[in-house]
Amino acid sequence: MPNRSLKPVERPLALGEQVYNALRAQLRSGAIGAGQALQEVPLAEQLGVSRTPVREAMARLASEGLLAADRRSFTVPALTLQDVDDIYEVRFLVEPAALRRIAPLAADPTVRRAIDAALADAVAAHHAGDSEAFREANVRYRAAWLALLPNARLVRVVEVYADHLQHIRALTLDDAGVRTVVLRGLRRITAALAAGDGDAAAVAMHEHLLQARRAFILATGLDGKSAGRKRSKVQ
């Protein structure tokens, strides 16, 4: 008979998972731009692994829409206006609902500590003019409220669709005016969470996403006008 006192041994992340996380982090940071080719051999050499985990990781990212297959390589897809509309349609459905669900929990300051800390770091980074630190704080803010969601599948949906647009934030958040709008949205969301008001949190997130969508379209020129004009709104 099996020994019931035995517990499963802890194992490190599989190599393929590590490669996936490394590539996804690069995509999140904007280090890999739209249209840039990713090839197995150079990536495997850079990461110090065989081609197999690299191939598996890129195929997984492609299945999530974060990469596109291009013959023998993969690229970061250049989004069309329809792509943006489709992505935000999903985000409008899931993220306000997720905020509504966690608001009762987030009313507790101890539960909300990581959210408040990320917001404070974003404020400090903005005042210091440090756009890189601001981007990191913005990512940690989302991670902090996602950590309160009990539904792992919902967390995954939010992460994947937010990451579709991460590379453009690396450009837009260099603008101080853009960061001001981001902070306004984050403060409104945080205030609603602190009050435990799920409906207000959902409304605040919906407005935050509306601003993000407008900014993305302006920043990429998908509105049919110049992408280089002044941008005023973004996530």
Residues facing residue 68 across a β-bridge: 75
User: Is residue 70 assigned to a domain?
Assistant: yes
State residue 40 phi and psi, 5-degree precision.
-60, -50
Do 62 and 30 belong to one domain? yes
Do 32 and 91 belong to one domain? no
Do 181 and 104 belong to one domain? yes
Owner of token pair 């990461």:
47
- Show which of 43, 75, 107 is a domain's final residue: 75
Rounded (10°) CA dihedral 186, 187, 189, 191: 160
pLDDT value, residue 165: 72
Give the whole-angstrom CA distance, residue 226 versus residue 192.
Answer: 36
- Show which of 27, 52, 75 is a domain's final residue: 75
Contact 221, 171 (CB under 8 A): no
Give the whole-angstrom CA distance, residue 117 versus residue 166.
Answer: 21
- In what order do the strands lie in the sheet containing 68-70? 37-38, 73-75, 68-70
pLDDT value, residue 167: 59
Averages of pLDDT over runs of 10 residues in the chain (235 residues) are: 49 77 79 77 88 88 82 79 90 96 97 98 95 90 96 91 70 79 94 98 96 79 55 44
- Show which of 23, 51, 75 is a domain's final residue: 75
User: Is residue 234 assigned to a domain?
Assistant: no
Owner of token pair 């709104």:
233
Do 143 and 199 belong to one domain? yes
Do 156 and 193 belong to one domain? yes
Do 107 and 212 belong to one domain? yes
Rounded (10°) CA dihedral 214, 218, 219, 224: 140
Contact 19, 47 (CB under 8 A): yes
Domain that residue 147 falls in: 81-220
Domain at 168, CATH number: 1.20.120.530
pLDDT value, residue 134: 92
Do 21 and 129 belong to one domain? no
Do 141 and 215 belong to one domain? yes
Do 63 and 98 belong to one domain? no
Q: What is the pTM assigned to this prediction?
A: 0.74
53-90: burial string, b at 16+ Cβ within 10 Å, e else: bbbbbbebbbeebbbeeeeebbbbbebeeeebeebbee
Total tally of structural domains belonging to the chain: 2
Residues facing residue 73 across a β-bridge: 70
Task: Specify the 3-state DSSP secondary structure of 226.
Answer: coil
Name which of 161, 235, 168 is nearest 204 in CA terms.
Answer: 235
Do 67 and 106 belong to one domain? no
Do 60 and 115 belong to one domain? no
Domain at 64, CATH number: 1.10.10.10
Contact 145, 137 (CB under 8 A): no
Do 68 and 130 belong to one domain? no
